[in-house]
Structure 1
Amino acid sequence: MIGNFSLIRALPVALLLAALSVPGWATASPGVALLNQAALHSAKASRAVLLAVTRAGDRLVAVGERGIVLLSDDSGQSWRQARVPVSVSLTAVQFVDAEQGWAVGHMGVILRSTDGGQTWVKQLDGVAAAHLALVSAQQGNDAKRLKEAQWLVADGPDKPFLDLYFSDRRNGYVVGAYGLILHTTDGGDSWQPWMQQVDNPEGLNLYGIRPAGGALFIVGERGLLLRSVDNGGSFQALESPYDGSFFGVQGSPAGELVAFGLRGNAYWSGDQGLTWRRVETGLEVALSTGTQLPDGALILASQAGDLLLSPDRGRSLRHLTDPAGASIAGLVAAPDGSLISVGLSGVARLKHNLSSAQR
């Protein structure tokens, strides 16, 4: 049986509140309308619950509740709202260049932009994703997989995607609740269910996916660590140093990576996940997000607003002075060197001088 969705409550507070803000979260019929309802524009959009932020060239793109997408071309000093065809909460966003990007969210939504985030089109939703899983299962001989796919169709399109990773304009993955993972080789024009390629028999929630040193890593609930060394063709489970949920992972081109999650836990690996060492954070609250700076340094953030800096790609972490003081769901370095955060209170330009902080 696919993992109990109540375990998604282990997500950082921002994601949980966003889920609860969606009308009809637990019932399929009211929620389906949100898949075809354009996001409303609001003068207060920059203070809405925002869950992720990234760069599209020199532009900043933030996403969040009710389909809100915000754009900034001045390093976060001002924001404007983009046109979005859905009203469901968006949980993650990535651009591979200044024009091409994707966002994912609740109810199985996958959106694509080809103009730097100004406009978006819906490529997939939970209804279509469940149908894809069913068709794929019907073509195999796995009774358990078929039963799970039938359950996805019957239960409705409320399953969220929680993260994504594209290596270029054509090849990408989206991951989410119940172990859902889809793969595309044509920029999202078509998607293939990838669950059968992943060593996750319990269907544990998948919270994050990132590359490191030529490999691809997925983290999830109950300490799940997955690695692909064949360009995403298959993912094998790694021995985990921790049995609590990992909410994210950050990797370096050299193959070093940091997995982080519940109760301030962070673990560093210098050998692509074969062995792990706990990194002291001094925190008991969940680490909710992280970002890499242009010089390779790493910043992690907690759901309580703590900021941790690692100048050595995750081997050690130290607290930045003047913590943010509000729940943080996403971070990115702006073109002018400032640090942009998003969370329960919307978007903020943090006052840290990142160059001096690393000395």
Structure 2
Amino acid sequence: MLKTTIASALILFGGVASAQITPQPALQVKHPEKTLFTDIVNSGGTLIAVGKHGTVVTSKDGKIWQQAKVPVQSLLTAVTSLESDKSWACGHDSSILFSSDNGQTWQIQQYLPQQQKPCLDIEFVDENTGFAVGAYGMFYQTNDGGKSWEKRFIDDFVHPDDKEYLQGLKEDDPQAYEEETKFILPHFNRLLIHREQLYLAGEMGLVAHSKDMGKSWQRLDEFYPGSFFSVAPYGNEQIVVAGLRGNAFIAHREDLEFSQIDIPVKATINSVVNFNDSLYLLANSGFLFSYDNGQVKHSQLSSGHAILSAVTFKNKLVLATEKGLKIWEAKK
């Protein structure tokens, strides 16, 4: 449960991080591509990977990597890109970073270590509208490309009686409202934007759906009590969620009635990616599960290193693992 361990440990150590309010730039090292990486994206032919201690690396071929200049040493957990000149990353200390030069240099858009909450995913609809989600119900939205981020509390996920109570508290005592809502919601682990709708997956079996770009949310009835770390499309019509101990589920986007995918190994699934007409579920202990029309096959890295994320690149997968970046090609 690598992602769970990383998030939990650094939340506990948040008090130490918050004492150092001024961010420090990531250290430049000899082999930056060999550290822990949590996410990777293909930005118009340039790979951008993010990870431990604020490390960001870029590559044009998936083999030779260059370290970017990053103004924080926080663990970075997610990266997204719309075009070669517009990329965002987020991570611990509620940090959000922006790059306008294909990932070579980064600027801080948000850095709030005193909140002791990591941002766990970031996605953009277009160059202006984006969302950042994370621990204890963290939910930020921007409408100006990240120049400003507005914090929101998703009260659709609380009991109606509590919702009414919180609304009254917000009006009568804003400070008490902030304290009351600080840790009331589960962790939001992953956000998906698909066909103009939003899907959210998180802790304690949370799967939610928004048809109006996050203005309102419907939490689905619980079909699994454990945490989900990934939500992804399978083709144009299906949605997959996956997480702890190899638990994965699939549903048609119209009804969102999820049925379980039979994963043969109980390894926590960290991410899901479409590749060569199949769905690949990437897991701890180096497992890759391929799903194709109800059939599941699996491969395993010889190193056994946990795979945190992957991206398609030149008909191969580039894997972000706990011990660096690796090119992987499906066996025929």
* TM-score category (smaller protein): 0.7 to 0.9
**Is 2:247 aligned against 1:262?**
no
Q: Is 1:159 aligned with 2:117?
A: yes
2:186 to 198, 201, 204: 204
TM-score (norm 1): 0.80
Identity of matched residues, %: 30
Matched, 1:168 2:126: yes
1:299 is aligned to 280
Change (3 A) 1:121 1:339: same
1:73 matched to which residue of 2?
60
Give yes or no for contact 1:169–1:187 (8 Å, CA) kept in 2. yes
Counterpart residue number, 2:173? none
CA distance in 1, matches of 2:149, 2:219: 23
Distance (whole Å) between structure 1 residues aligned to residue 95 and residue 31 of structure 2: 24
Closer, same or farther: CA 321–346 of 1 in aligned 2, 3 Å: closer
- Report SS of the residue matched to 2:157: coil
Kept in 2: contact 1:61–1:70 (CA 8 A): yes
Q: State the Cα distance separating 1:196 from its structure 2 match.
A: 3.5
> Partner of 1:162: helix, strand, or coil?
strand
In structure 1, C-alpha distance between the alignment counterparts of 2:156 and 2:46, rounded to whole Å: 34
Correspondent of 1:90 among 67, 76, 79: 76
Amino acid corresponding to residue 120 of structure 2 in structure 1: L
1:222 counterpart SS class:
coil
Q: CA offsets, 1:200-247, max 9 Å, x none?
A: 564000000002343210001110111001122222211121111111
- Alpha-carbon contact 2:157-2:185 (below 8 Å) kept: no
* Residue matched to 2:181: none
Instruction: Work out the CA distance in 2 between the residues paired with 1:306 and 1:213.
Output: 29
Please state if 1:25 is matched with 2:3.
no
Query: Is the 2:18–2:116 Cα contact (8 Å) retained in structure 1?
Result: no
Q: Tell me how far 1:32 sits from its aligned partner.
A: 2.6
> Which one of 96, 99, 102 corresponds to residue 116 of structure 1?
102
Q: 1:29 to 1:276 in 2, by over 3 A?
A: closer
**Is 2:35 the partner of 1:53?**
no
Distance 1:299 1:252 in 2: 10
Q: Does 1:181 align with 2:170?
A: no
Asked if the contact 2:234–2:240 (Cα under 8 Å) also holds between the matched residues in 1, the reply is no
Contact 2:78 2:121 in 1 (8 A): yes
Per mean C-alpha deviation after superposition, the further-off stretch among 196-205 and 218-227 is 196-205
Q: Which structure 2 residue ranges, 5 or more long, are not aligned?
A: 160-183
CA contact (8 A) 2:267 2:287 kept: no
Aligned residue runs from structure 1 range 337-352, under 5 A: 337-352=315-330
**In the TM superposition, what is the alpha-carbon distance from 1:321 to its structure 2 partner?**
6.8
Which of 225, 228, 234 is the aligned partner of 1:243? 225
Paired letter, 1:290: V
| Runs of at least 5 residues in structure 1 that lack an aligned partner in the other structure | 1-11, 128-155
Q: Distance in 1 between matches of 2:195 and 2:222?
A: 19
CA distance in 2, matches of 1:39, 1:237: 38
CA apart distance, 1:39: 0.6
Residue 333 (str. 1) matches residue 319 (str. 2): no
Q: Distance in 1 between matches of 2:52 and 2:149?
A: 25
CA distance in 2, matches of 1:196, 1:21: 24
- Contact 1:212/1:272, CA 8 A, preserved across alignment: no
CA RMSD of aligned residues (A): 2.3
Separation (CA, whole Å) in 1 of partners of 2:322 and 2:8: 12
| Higher RCO structure, 1 or 2 (CA under 8 Å, sep 6+) | 1
TM-score by length of 2: 0.86
- Given that 1:216 and 1:228 are in contact with CA atoms closer than 8 Å, whether structure 2 keeps it comes out as yes
